[in-house]
Amino acid sequence: MQHYYHPMSRAVTTDWMLHELDAEHEQIVIDFTKGENQTPAFRAINPMAKLPTLVDGDVVVTEAAAICLYLADKYIERGMAPPVDSPKRGQYYRYVLFCGSTLEPMFSVDDKEFNAQSVGWGDRERCMASVEAMTPEQGWVLGDAFSAADVVYGGTLDFAVQFGWIKAPSASVAAYVNRIRARPAYRATHDPSWYES
Ligand SMILES: N[C@@H](CCC(=O)N[C@@H](CS)C(=O)NCC(=O)O)C(=O)O
């Protein structure tokens, strides 16, 4: 595994996790203060150009919380994730996902000096480059099987198109959103004006 890291970044959290697990890995220092994260080679791995980034063979994991979840499952015998059937799983997900999606954005917006290097979302260009790279040409984000990842990711793109946050979706984003909107369970839960326009 390669762990793309800088000591003055959120990668200290994933580095800590790797150490808790005693997980063998190669540490690759990317000095974002010198723009090393903006190289085509690094952006090909993570179009967000953000640290931390973990590469495990063919698997690329970005987002500090996702990396911690991935590592806890990969080294499940180390006991850092509750079993899948444990009632503690709910609290586990809640704590892990609350930070990046809710708490951190609030702190970022509250911080009057926030900038693209420090905020989790970077900027629109990087987010949209990531959306283009992450949206499947066909099927679902994990391949043939529809999953909870499509409900969350597809649901977010659906909202973005619906509310005009993405004004001119690319052909693949538009087609993916249309596949999402064609699902019977989606139609059972959304106002018809969302998918009949
Ligand atoms: N949502 C991402 C945020 C990652 C992030 O913003 N990392 C910063 C360092 S703490 C970074 O790589 N900044 C460099 C840049 O954006 O140019 C996560 O949780 O991993």
Element (H, E) at 54: strand 53-56
Structure tokens given for 41: 């080679």
SS3 27: strand
Find the residues whose C-beta lies inside 6 A of ligand 1.
9-10, 32, 37, 49-52, 63-64, 100, 116-117, 120, 122
The pairing of strands 2-5 and 26-29 is parallel
Separation CA 125–CA 127 (nearest Å): 6
**pLDDT range class, residue 197, cuts 50, 70, 90:** low
Judged by average pLDDT, the poorest of 28-32, 82-86, 89-93, 193-197 is 193-197
Nearest-atom number in ligand 1 for the CA of 63 is 20
Section 163-192 average pLDDT: 97
Nearest-atom number in ligand 1 for the CA of 65 is 19
Section 164-168 average pLDDT: 96
Judged by average pLDDT, the poorest of 33-37, 109-113, 134-138, 151-155 is 109-113
- Host domain of residue 173: 135-197
**Per-residue DSSP letters for 89-152?**
HHHHHHHHHHIIIIIHHHHHHHSTT--TTTSTT--HHHHHHHHHHHS-SSSBTTBSS--HHHHH
Q: Count how many domains the chain has.
A: 1
Which residue from 66, 41, 40, 72 is spatially nearest to 52, judged by alpha carbons?
Answer: 66
User: Which residues contact residue 104 at a Cβ distance below 8 angstroms, ignoring those fewer than 6 apart?
Assistant: 120
Q: What is the pLDDT of residue 195?
A: 87
Q: What is the pLDDT of residue 111?
A: 86
Question: Is residue 193, in this structure, part of any structural domain at all?
Answer: yes
**pLDDT range class, residue 12, cuts 50, 70, 90:** very high
Question: Is residue 23, in this structure, part of any structural domain at all?
Answer: no
Question: Is residue 161, in this structure, part of any structural domain at all?
Answer: yes
% residues pLDDT > 70 (the chain): 99
Q: What is the pLDDT of residue 112?
A: 81
Question: Is residue 60, in this structure, part of any structural domain at all?
Answer: no
**pLDDT range class, residue 194, cuts 50, 70, 90:** confident
Would you give the distance in Å from CA 69 to the centre of its chain? 12
Q: Which residue has the tokens 């990969």?
A: 74
Question: Is residue 157, in this structure, part of any structural domain at all?
Answer: yes
C-alpha torsion angle, residues 177, 153, 119, 126 (rounded to 10):
-50
Question: Is residue 57, in this structure, part of any structural domain at all?
Answer: no
If you measure from the C-alpha of residue 105 to the centroid of ligand 1, how many angstroms do you get, rounded to a whole number?
Answer: 12
Average pLDDT, the chain: 97
Query: Nearest C-alpha to atom 17 of ligand 1 is from which residue?
Result: 117
Nearest-atom number in ligand 1 for the CA of 50 is 12
| Cis peptide, bond prior to residue 47, ω within 30 of zero | no
Q: At what angle do helices 64-74 and 11-21 cross, to 10 degrees?
A: 10
Q: What is the pLDDT of residue 114?
A: 86
Nearest-atom number in ligand 1 for the CA of 62 is 20
pLDDT tens digits, 82-126: 999 999 999 999 999 999 999 999 999 998 888 999 999 999 999
Question: Is residue 77, in this structure, part of any structural domain at all?
Answer: no
Query: Nearest C-alpha to atom 11 of ligand 1 is from which residue?
Result: 50
Question: Is residue 27, in this structure, part of any structural domain at all?
Answer: no
